[in-house]
Amino acid sequence: MRPAWIRPIAERRALALSALALVCLVVGWTATRAAPANGHAIGLWPVGLATVGLIGVPRRLLAPAAVVLAAIAATSIAGGGRPVGVAVGYGLGVAADCVVVALLLTGAGRRSWRLRTDEDLARYLLAALAGGLVGGSAGALTSLVTGFGTPVIVALALGSSQLASQLVLPPLFADLPEHGAIAGPVERGLQWAFVLVVTPLVFLPRDLPSLTFLAIPVLAWGALRIRPREALAQLLAVLAFAVVTTSSDLGPYAAAPRDLGLATDVRGILLAAYAASCSLLVIPLLIRVGQHIEARRHAASERDTLDRIVRSTHGVAIIGTGPDGRITLFNPGAERLLGYTAAEVLGQRTEPLHPASEVGRLAEQLGVEADFSVVAARLMHPDMAGTEIDFVRRDGEVRTHSMTLSRVVDDRGLVVGHLSTSEDITERVRTQQALEEALERMREVDAVKDAFVSSVSHELRTPITSILGYLEMLTDGSFGPMLPDQEKAVGRIAGNSRRLLSLIDDLLVLSRLQGMGDLLAEPPPEVAPVEVGGPVATGCAVVAPAAEHAGIDLAVDLPAEAARVRVPPDLVERVVINLVGNAVKFTPSGGRVRVRVAPASSEDGVPGVRLEVEDTGIGIPADEVGLLFTRFFRSSLAQRQAIPGSGLGLSIIQGVLDRSGGRISVRSQVGEGSVFSVWWPAA
């Protein structure tokens, strides 16, 4: 069951279609009655109105509606004085014409049709022509079957009249361009006066058919200046007068057949041709005017939007120029950033907005001729967007802008001007320069600091070595026996001295690495391939006493075959001592430290040698792994458990690896231990 709100709509549609059917019946009967009695045509039967009715009929009801239309047409034609058999044939032709046109106009299943664009117009003209051919063919076939008239004349009479009806009436019910009248009330009044005055004057004389075309300029005037439906109403008024006068046996179209000895039906053909000519002028014109007005509205809207954007952009200088390089646009952003008002610079050239030396500087930077136009042409390339260029403010201050320059091209591809957009980056440039200067000073300070640390470390190493020598002599009894408390004190002094000496050694290694620069990235000839097993064994032997003293199991697994790398052996030994020493230091008594060396390829397939140091120590928190190789960094667990250390060992390892093409990775779990993995490319 249909919803209640649908019923009123369906009832109104049924009422409208019934009224339209009644109008078609009456007008069709009148048109047939107005046709010459000795002719074979049916006048301008309102097939256009019938087509409008079929467009409003649901597709599922189109076939029954076509049958009803054929019956209405046949009834009106028979009532107008044509034989019944002829009326049936003509009625079927009318119905077929309307069905074809309705289907072509609503091909997508719509119940209305648009007449706004050139595509809509082409579809409409094609549909009207197809309908005229169908109607003319039905008339010729009817003439052949019934012997009523000459088939060719009947086909021309019916085809032309139905084509004219399809061209005149349906546009009144189409979705037309929506625009008001361009003409004012006085002009519109004059147009209607011309329609109502000129039309009788040109249709009443019977011997001058060409005068009838004087009404066409008036119709064109209306199509260009007034509302679309009002222009169609003027067209309908002119054609109505033409039909009435011709049907009343007045005017040139009624007299032409008699004067020229032609068939009576020729007057209907001439009238239909006139109606089609008027329609083919008015309808394309009003569509073109609608497109023009719509395009103008769209362009005005875009122009207003762009203007609002340009006017509201206060942080960007937007400067437009014509093809001659003279300023045509100077937005508020340009006024604020450059200090000029738009009135001061409009019509002026842009060269004074830049320092006199700027063109030369840019030309040298870009490698082009030192000419303003040449430099500007180079700046328009897409890769030059954001070029830094100096502008001169009105007060003489020079400011640096990041500028993008582009061409403005019309729809024909012609350059009609140029547009530059820029923002003031002076402070950013100055800040960057200050940062670069500060960075350079920091590098100088860092170099002085490194030199100082290296010098002091060298100076400290000699006396500390001497102190350790004397402590050994005291311990050996070279200066006589010591009391137990004295031995403990000397032992503490010796331990702290060795720790200080180890720290000095680390500082000297760091200084050496910084001095080497990138020498080890591509080893010089004197750095020969080194069998890595020897330095690894030596380094482990240095740490072995500390491991034994701490009760830690230290195992070393060296490869059976020689594994060679291009790294100085003392640096390999330093890496091993630091890694294994850390493993021993951070592993509780009873733990294990495993050192393994084996050939291994990197992730990208490069052959090399891998050194792994695995321990069962306290581990490293996950959020601190990324900081391990920072100078003087010590993990929170090491600090909490008061494990001594300088925090330089891993930074030394990172320095060695950076300069020898090596890599290091860490896997660690708090409370379970860590694995440090070092990889060097094979020699």
Q: What are the pLDDT digits (tens) for 339-371?
A: 999 899 999 998 889 998 888 998 888 888 888
pLDDT of 125 reads: 92
Which one is predicted more confidently, 515 or 245? Answer: 245
pLDDT of 510 reads: 62
With cut-offs at 50, 70 and 90, classify the pLDDT of residue 454.
Answer: low
DSSP E strands, 74-149: none
pLDDT of 642 reads: 61
The C-alpha atoms of residue 9 and residue 12 are separated, in whole angstroms, by 5
Token couple for 480: 């006589």
The C-alpha atoms of residue 299 and residue 574 are separated, in whole angstroms, by 76
Who contacts 356 (Cβ-Cβ below 8 Å, separation ≥6)? Answer: none
Element of type H or E holding 498: helix 484-516
Q: What's the pTM?
A: 0.54
pLDDT of 521 reads: 41
What values do phi and psi take at 148, rounded to 5? -90, 100
pLDDT of 4 reads: 46
Who contacts 620 (Cβ-Cβ below 8 Å, separation ≥6)? Answer: 628, 635, 637, 666, 668, 670, 674
pLDDT of 60 reads: 83
Kindly report the number of other CB atoms within 10 A of residue 571's CB atom: 24
257-266, 313-322, 432-441, 635-644, range with the lowest pLDDT: 635-644
The C-alpha atoms of residue 359 and residue 370 are separated, in whole angstroms, by 6
pLDDT of 174 reads: 86
Token couple for 613: 């140091």
54-63, 165-174, 469-478, range with the lowest pLDDT: 469-478
Task: Please state, rounded to an integer, the average pLDDT across all residues of the chain.
Answer: 82
- With contact defined as beta carbons under 8 Å apart, do 91 and 77 qualify? yes
Which one is predicted more confidently, 491 or 4? Answer: 491
DSSP E strands, 545-606: 553-557, 564-565, 592-601
Average pLDDT over residues 99-111: 77
Exposure b/e, 578-610, CB count within 10 A at least 16 = b = bbbbbbbbbbeeebbbbbbbeebeeeeeeebbb
Kindly report the number of other CB atoms within 10 A of residue 369's CB atom: 11
pLDDT(594) > 90: yes
The C-alpha atoms of residue 567 and residue 564 are separated, in whole angstroms, by 9
pLDDT(267) > 90: no
263: nearest Cα among 32, 31, 36: 36
Tell me the per-residue pLDDT of 64-74, one tens digit each, with 9 for 90 and over.
888 998 899 89
Token couple for 3: 């919803």
The C-alpha atoms of residue 87 and residue 71 are separated, in whole angstroms, by 9
Q: Which residue in this structure is represented by tokens 């076509």?
A: 66
Q: Which residue in this structure is represented by tokens 């320095």?
A: 655
In the beta sheet, which residues pair with residue 678? 611, 664
Which one is predicted more confidently, 206 or 381? Answer: 381
pLDDT of 209 reads: 65
Pairing of strands 553-557, 592-601: parallel
Token couple for 185: 């009330």
Query: What angle separates helix 484-516 from helix 649-658, to the nearest 10 degrees?
Result: 30
Q: Which residue in this structure is represented by tokens 């860590």?
A: 674
pLDDT(5) > 50: no
Kindly report the number of other CB atoms within 10 A of residue 90's CB atom: 32
Count, residues in the chain: 683
DSSP 326: B
Tell me the per-residue pLDDT of 537-565, one tens digit each, with 9 for 90 and over.
888 888 888 888 889 998 888 887 778 88
Q: Which residue in this structure is represented by tokens 């790398």?
A: 565
Average pLDDT over residues 263-286: 87
Measured CA angle at 562 (ends 561, 565), to 5 deg: 140
With cut-offs at 50, 70 and 90, classify the pLDDT of residue 401.
Answer: very high
pLDDT(2) > 70: no
